[in-house]
Chains A and B, each alone.
Chain A
Amino acid sequence: MIARRDKTRGLLIALEGADGAGKTTQRKLLKTWLESRGQTVVSTRWASSPLVKPLIATRKRIRVFSPLEYSLLHAIDFRHRIETEVLPALWAGQTVLADRYLFAALARDAARGLELDWLLHAYAPLLWPDLVVYFAMPAQVSSRRVAATRQPRFYESGQDVTGIDDPLTSYRRFIDRVIREYDNLSTIFQFVTVNAEEAVYHQHQKVRELVEAATRRPWPDYSAEAVAEWLRNDPVAYKAGLHG
């Protein structure tokens, strides 16, 4: 059933990169372009599950998270969105654009000192994206862009782990670690890299080309466990799969 659905399901495209890399801009441009081509597109953003977002926001406000708790709450958010937003949309043939996916968590949590091996386990079973576009840029550029628009928030600037009082100074140090982790992940998981320092238009052209050339990463080979578990827990989708 999973193999049959794999032929008609939607594409899962992950947009990754540090803050200020322009992921949201590119996601919006890509959505408009795909919709103009007749596709139904669903966007999913980091820490946006309607169930988990308030839990995270409340605890962030009072700054009670340890790196482990921070990581687990984001894993819950991710799992909840996979089960309630991403998989139903893909199953129905819609394209899903993830504005930060699994790798944002891996990079940030690893930068906070958690083991990559444990992190991959906490996020398992994994639903692999068909395409990961990584908007790469140096840490200084990220810091400059963020500083130009706002003061980074406590956890965004990694103040929980750097112990530095000034958010921007902390951000500079933390984002350097995050980008190093992203670069490692990019090598391990073979992201497609786009230079985030190029003009928005040029980046968008590149993204279009990548999406046009993207092929499905076969579910039976890469994501069978995640899809099968979702189907087991969701009899409506299961029945639709039997008849669809």
Chain B
Amino acid sequence: MTSMLALELRGLTKTFGGLQVTHDVHLGLASGARHALIGPNGAGKSTLVGLVSGAIEPDSGQVLSFGHDLTRLSLQDRVKMGLVRSFQITSLFPKLTVLENVQLAVNENTGVADQLWIGMKDLVEQRERCLEVLAELQIVEQQDVPVENLSYGKQRLVEIAIVLALKPRVLLLDEPAAGIPSTETDLLLTALHKLPSETAILMIEHDMKLVREFCTEVTVLVSGKVLASGQSEDVMNSQTVRDVYLGRSGHERFKGVQEHV
């Protein structure tokens, strides 16, 4: 158990109005983790993501990354610390091209975004980095297309590209497969495998196939509380989890997928 966890949540609690949405959540991710966060709708997963990314302030508890307390930091500052999130509903820059979308991320990451001027050499370098990322996701051909003209599946890829370009140390993937038909998730999966192995990834998903194929650890969130957490196998096979969340068919789908592998 490393003392410096890539992401650590300690006792996060949040109440909205009279409703306690997050109850004393504890969670730890080491570098390179592939951790899924699952749970029924309304379990508070989105709120949790908001708390971690900095969009929402917790009533109590802490968010830490590599020993640094991020709880009081703004959205921007957390990104600077290497904590990045992607969106469930694609949130890109509609009228800008694919290349420009990624360029924005690269510029922020390399620190040139503030410059009112850029030299030729730097310009070429930046472009190279962008094209690298695009190539990883096989969307180089569409580089000059405004993203609003792309198919939804391709837009999701751009979403991943942006996140990749930021070279995150901790990555929050909010339902990356949302809106993509299960037949097309393979392309997404390939893209996800391209993410650096040292990055700690926390993925919220409903698609069990994706969870099985990508994640080694799982946390189950129900009504804002952690029901179970640990290695995928153990959690998915646990009786309590099956009863409360998966139900028979869910579990079978999980086991069924496993058998095919």
Q: Does A associate with B in a complex?
A: no
